[in-house]
Amino acid sequence: MAEKTIQWNSDDGSISLISGDTKERLILMRIGFMEAFFDEIEKVEGEATLKNTFRNLLKRLGASQELIDKPDIESFHKFCDNFVLPINYDLTQIPELLEWEGKGREIKAFGNAIFRIVPHKVLMMFKEVSAELLTERGASAILRTVARKAGLAVIDEAMVSYGWTEMDTAMNSMDGVLSFSLPKLGWGKTRVAVSKDADGNHMFYLKSWNSFEADNVKHKRPVCVIFQYDLDGIGMGVAGNFIGRSTESREVKCRAKGDDYCAFAIKVKDKQIKALDWSELEDEWQALDGVHPTPEG
């Protein structure tokens, strides 16, 4: 068996598992993230649908029959462990502010937050299988719910870590915080631009040049549901804590449909407004689109 090594690529914000001549993308997801997806499927669709999700997922991934015959969270994690581990540990490969002993899939990041190494192919296959079982609309609803909650959880920690006490400071910190952290998690190289309208409502606009959800995907519509609603939760947490408002988001560009990069606009709004008219916001996000023409610019 070829020796496995892990590699952080600072050029495109990705993480790779190298084994012989093969190279597989990895993602760092906050611990409990995948479990939350499965819990939500069981809550909404029932235990039988959850078991079918595990069974079909493990089959598509080429798991052993032993794991397929026990379609549950333990078998899922066992497959991921077998896929990733054991890794040849190289301390020099670990980016700043990540702590990892190289023995398991859990990594401490940016303080005390715990993330788990997840194979990119597993996450993408989960999206495919869940869409088949629940319909694309039903699966997207669950992905939105879980990803938004994850983004909200991030803000509780960020407010303490970065000492945010008011809205402008938090929004103006988004580029530094997200462009620093997301590439280390393997989510892609990112930049953030921010604006504020005459009513004091901010928009933050994130561009990703290598979003994990659009990697090797072709679709007529944007596909980065997890990325979008994680950012939506971050914006919602900031707006809710500081000014008692909410947010709405759009993925306005996506590599999956042929754009050069993925781009997400998150707009602050009053809570009583059910939906924003995004045709009226196009000039605002288009202006922000030109702020960072490249990850370095």
Domain boundaries, the chain: 4-133, 154-289
Q: What is the spatial distance between Cα 17 and Cα 150, in angstroms, rounded to a whole number?
A: 25
What is the reported pLDDT for 1? 63
259 phi/psi in degrees, rounded to 5? -75, 160
Structure tokens at 118: 């997840």
- CA distances 77 to 105, 139, 165, Å, are 10, 21, 39
Its CATH architecture, for the domain 154-289, is 2-Layer Sandwich (3.30)
User: Max Cα separation, the chain?
Assistant: 62
Across the 297 residues of the chain, what is the mean pLDDT of every consecutive 10-residue run?
88 95 96 94 95 97 97 97 91 86 90 92 96 94 95 85 90 95 96 95 97 95 97 95 96 97 97 94 97 94
What is the reported pLDDT for 157? 81
199 phi/psi in degrees, rounded to 5? -90, 5
What is the reported pLDDT for 156? 81
